Amino acid sequence: MPQLDVSAVRADFPILDRTVYGKPLIYLDNTATSQTPRVVVDAVTDMYYKHKANVHRGVHCLSQEATDAMETSRERVRRFINASSVEEIIFTRGATEAINLVASSYGSLLNEGDEIILTVMEHHSNIVPWQMLAQRKGLKIKVVPIDSIGRLDLDAYRSLFTDRTRVVAVTHISNVLGTVNPVAEIIAEAHRHGAVALIDGAQAVAHTAVDVQALDADFYAFSSHKMYGPCGIGVLYGRKSLLEKMPPYQGGGEMIGHVSFNGTTWADLPYKFEAGTPDYVDAAAFRTAIDYLTGLGIDAVAAHEDELLKYTTERMMEIPGMRIFGTAPGKCAIISFLIGNAHHYDTGMLLDKLGIAVRTGHHCAQPLMESLGIEGTVRASFAAYNTFAEADAFIAALHRIAPMLM
């Protein structure tokens, strides 16, 4: 496997040259959002400076150029996740909107008494839309628990199915625990019971190759900003046969075939689900981000992050009182921790003063925190541009602040 040239990678990210409180920035909040390489920012700038015009609606040159850029990006996304058709690639504002689209649109086909299976490790974005649907339609939500090291209890999962189970919605990788879920197995079990499966892939696409056909996923949602791309753009992959049966999520321009006061018809896929002027600028730049990530090599990035994870975890456990949440084998490069009973916010604030950016709080996963018996954690997470020198500085900072917190 080719080795990642981390020094060359870091040169692509100008923000990594800045200081915070007089200290070199060490950015370890990549699970929340990754930084953006210069080439992606340049792609955004190029669209605004040279090709800005509304897509799909104009016969003039600029409109055609913008349309071509957006649709080329759609095809790039299709290849990136190996969807069978661009009709299955819907641009959204992010994974959150993608999941809401499915809950609202596919959810409208469900009936009172139908059941949805979620897991305790879901992000709020894959809980709240289903709760809102359940309240509207009288549905029942069931929840898969985890074991002591952060793995889903698959026996419990299998036991939750009944003849009323209609949807299974599960994260590919936990944004708190780093657990990589066996989503192909989870999907297969859902299909055995006639249910559809939605996978929240927001944490997965930057760290592992995703093939929606190999997974046999019905829906797969992810965001650009967690994979070195621009904010405000994401993707819903949907199986074409399902998307064709689903009603539009929003109404307006772009998603129509013909409008009259006697009735309206819908546009063909994927435009049926893309009402209004789309974010064609960031959609175009998203293609550049995908090219950048695949140019680095997802396997090489994952191997580098895994080495950082193992090294940092081992060093962290030398610190008295260290508690790490999520120790499943093969986990992603996410470390959620507490130092004794110290408040996560205090730890995060002290690290910030040393130039180290981590996340603190419940990470939009309050049911998981409740299951763990804690209020929140400190979370450090790695990306392609992080280094072992940064890991050492992070460990040294923890050694420095731990006595202040205990």
Nearest partner of 232 among 264, 279, 277, judged by Cα: 279
Residue-level pLDDT at 358: 98
Residue 212 lies in a domain: yes
15 and 157 belong to one structural domain: no
Structure tokens at 403: 């006595």
Residue-level pLDDT at 406: 76
Q: Is 340 left (phi over 0), alpha (psi -120 to 50) or beta?
A: left
Residue-level pLDDT at 213: 98
13 and 56 belong to one structural domain: no
287 and 306 belong to one structural domain: no
CB 181 within 8 A of CB 172: yes
Residue 127 lies in a domain: yes
Q: Where does a domain end: 275, 294, 313?
A: 294
Structure tokens at 118: 């979620």
Q: What CATH number is given to the structural domain containing 26?
A: 3.90.1150.10
251 and 284 belong to one structural domain: yes
**Domain region containing 212:** 41-294
Residues whose CB falls within 8 Å of the CB of residue 196, separated by 6 or more in sequence, listed in order: 106, 166, 167, 168, 190, 218, 219, 242
Residue-level pLDDT at 25: 98
Tens digit of pLDDT per residue, the chain (406 long)?
668 999 999 999 999 999 999 999 999 999 999 999 999 999 999 999 999 999 987 789 999 999 999 999 999 999 999 999 999 999 999 999 999 999 999 999 999 999 999 999 999 999 999 999 999 999 999 999 999 999 999 999 999 999 999 999 999 999 999 999 999 999 999 999 999 999 999 999 999 999 999 999 999 999 999 999 999 999 999 999 999 999 999 999 889 999 999 999 999 999 999 999 999 999 999 999 999 999 999 999 999 999 999 999 999 999 999 999 999 999 999 999 999 999 999 999 999 999 999 999 999 999 999 999 999 999 999 999 999 999 999 999 999 999 998 7
Judge whether 61 counts as a catalytic residue: no
306 and 189 belong to one structural domain: no
Residue 182 lies in a domain: yes
Residue-level pLDDT at 56: 87
Q: Which of 61, 231, 332, 364 is catalytic?
A: 364
Residues 298, 301, 307, 308, Cα dihedral to 10°: -140
- In three-state secondary structure terms, 55 is coil
Q: Where does a domain end: 235, 263, 294?
A: 294
Nearest partner of 189 among 156, 211, 220, 213, judged by Cα: 156
Residue-level pLDDT at 1: 60
Residue 364 lies in a domain: yes
Task: Report the domain count for the chain.
Answer: 2
How open is the CA angle 306-308-312, to the nearest 5 degrees? 120
C-alpha span between 192 and 226 (Å, rounded): 32
Residue 1 lies in a domain: no
Q: What CATH number is given to the structural domain containing 166?
A: 3.40.640.10
126 and 265 belong to one structural domain: yes
Return the biggest CA–CA distance within the chain.
72
β-strands 263-266, 256-260: how paired?
Answer: antiparallel
C-alpha span between 272 and 253 (Å, rounded): 10
372 and 284 belong to one structural domain: no
Residue 36 lies in a domain: no
121 and 192 belong to one structural domain: yes
Helix axes 388-405, 344-353, angle to 10 degrees: 130
74 and 139 belong to one structural domain: yes
26 and 121 belong to one structural domain: no
Nearest-Å Rg of the Cα atoms of the chain is: 22
How open is the CA angle 66-70-76, to the nearest 5 degrees? 145
CB 382 within 8 A of CB 309: yes
C-alpha span between 292 and 289 (Å, rounded): 5
187 and 274 belong to one structural domain: yes
DSSP string, 61-111: HHHHHHHHHHHHHHHHHHHHHT-S-GGGEEEESSHHHHHHHHHHHGGGG--
290 and 309 belong to one structural domain: no
Residue 35 lies in a domain: no
Nearest partner of 74 among 215, 224, 210, judged by Cα: 224
CB 104 within 8 A of CB 248: no
Q: Where does a domain end: 294, 321, 342?
A: 294
- Sign of the CA dihedral running 41, 47, 49, 53: negative
Residue-level pLDDT at 59: 86
